[in-house]
Structure 1
Amino acid sequence: MDVYEAIATRRTVRDFEDKPVEMSLIERVLDAGLKAPSNNHLRQWEFVIINDREERAKVLRVKDTTSRDECDNMLDGFGLTDEVQRNMYHEAMPRQFSMLYHAGCLILPFFKVREPLLHPSSLSSLNDFASIWCCIENILLASASEGIFGVTRIPMAEESAHIQKVIGHPDNYVMPCYIALGYPAKNASRPKQKHIQVREKIHMHTW
């Protein structure tokens, strides 16, 4: 699969077959992640893989939002009015725990920080954060080329504190998201994405 095909193929999937992802495949997609650009050229990234379901249950402090009214109230509070966008959230919010728990592979990526992530002294202080997301995108594209798909979730503050307590990672490492990967279930929900025309996003010489 060439790179354009992998980009076009990659889709967020939250419903998985009950099938593990082979460790050799996990190593290949993580190796692709490690080929991403790194701002300090050291690629100070670490990965915790949790494939045992009992261990996942200990790590995950994520709740599904099962009430449509609760979901709508939250979206209204965010001021979201686009129908396609709201439908995406309606698909995602009831699966926040299940997508992480039932995935064939759960990866917790970590990156080393030089100063507190939420209190940067300048925009360039976020270079470490930007670099790990380049790594994560490589992982998702490599996974798509292998026929496995997945989803990311950015943790809430209380989730991050719990993960540090359970995993025991150093204070100067931060987990930007969960990465759940797996083989899509046959009836996996794949909601319609908002169509974007590239020419509508291009500005020549001035905005």
Structure 2
Amino acid sequence: MNIYQAIAARRTIRDFEDKPVEMDLVEQIINAGLKAPTNNHLRQWEFVIVNDREERGRLLRVRNMTDKDECEAMLDGFGMTDEVQRDMYRAAMPRQFSMLYNAGCLVLPFFRVRGPLMQPSCLSSLNDFASIWCCIENMLLAAAAEGILGVTRIPMTDESEHIRQVVGHPENYVMPCYVALGYPAKDAVIPVQKVIHTRDRIHMNAW
């Protein structure tokens, strides 16, 4: 699979087969992540793998939103009017816990911060944050090349504090998201992607 095929194959799924992802393959995927560009050239990234279901249950403080009216009210509150966008959330919200708990592999990536992440002084203060997302995208593309798909979830504040207590990571490291990877279930829901015409997004010399 070439890089363009991997990009096309990479899709977000939240329904997984009950099948683990072999650790050799997980290491290969993380190794692809470690090839990503980094602002300080040090790649100060660490990864915690949580594959024991009992440990996952202890770690995850995530709620599935199963009430359709609650979900619709949330989307209205977000000001969402695009139906393709709303459909993605309608598929996602009932699976917030299950997609992490049932994945073939749950990866917690961490990056080292030099100052308070939520109090940047300028855009370049977010270089560490930007770099870890390059790493995560490399991982998702490498996984897709192996027939493995996944999903990310950015933790809420209370989740982050709970993760720190359970995992015991240093205070100067931050987990930007959960990365759930696995083999797609045969009936996995794959939301329709919004069609974007490239030329409509390109501006020559000025906006």
Matched letter for residue 178 of structure 1 = Y
Question: Which residue of structure 1 lines up, in the alignment, with residue 182 of structure 2?
Answer: 182
Instruction: Quote the residue 1:202 is aligned against.
Output: 202
Aligned to 2:12: 12
3-state SS of the aligned residue for 1:179?
strand
CA shift, 1:121, in A, is 1.2
Counterpart of 2:44 in structure 1 is: 44
Offset from partner CA, 1:166-203 (integer Å, 9 cap, x none):
00000000000000000000000012111000001000
Instruction: State the one-letter code of the partner of 1:27.
Output: E
Match of 1:75 in 2: 75
C-alpha separation in 2, matches of 1:196 and 1:122: 30
Equivalent position of 2:25 in the other structure: 25
Cα distance between partner residues in 2 of 1:191 and 1:102: 19
- Give matches, 1:1-207, under 5 Å: 1-207=1-207
Write the distance in 2 (CA, Å) between the matches of 1:191 and 1:133: 22
Normalised TM-score (structure 2)? 1.00
Measure, in 1, the Cα distance between the counterparts of 2:162 and 2:82: 34
Gaps of 5+ in 2: none
CA distance in 1 between partners of 2:30 and 2:96 (Å) = 23
Identity %: 72
- The whole-number CA distance in structure 1 between the counterparts of 2:2 and 2:131 is 23
| AA partner of residue 147 (structure 1) | G
Q: Amino acid of the residue matched to residue 114 of structure 2?
A: R
Q: Deviations over 1:13-56 (max 9, x none)?
A: 10000000000000000000000000000000000000000000
**1:106: Cα distance to partner?**
0.1
What is the aligned-residue RMSD (CA, Å)?
Answer: 0.4
2:117 is paired with a residue of what secondary structure? coil
Task: Give me the TM-score of the superposition, normalised by structure 1.
Answer: 1.00
Between the aligned partners of 1:11 and 1:135, the Cα distance in structure 2 is 17
What is the aligned residue count? 207
Query: In structure 1, what is the Cα distance between the partners aligned to 2:76 and 2:82?
Result: 11
Distance in 2, Cα, partners of 1:105 & 1:188: 17
Residue segments in structure 1 that go unaligned for 5+ positions in a row: none
Query: How far is 1:122 from its partner?
Result: 1.2
Q: Which amino acid aligns with 2:195?
A: H
Amino acid at match of 1:176: P
Give me the whole-angstrom Cα distance separating, in 1, the residues matched to 2:82 and 2:13.
Answer: 21
Supply the distance in 2 between the matched residues of 1:85 and 1:41 (Cα, whole angstroms): 36
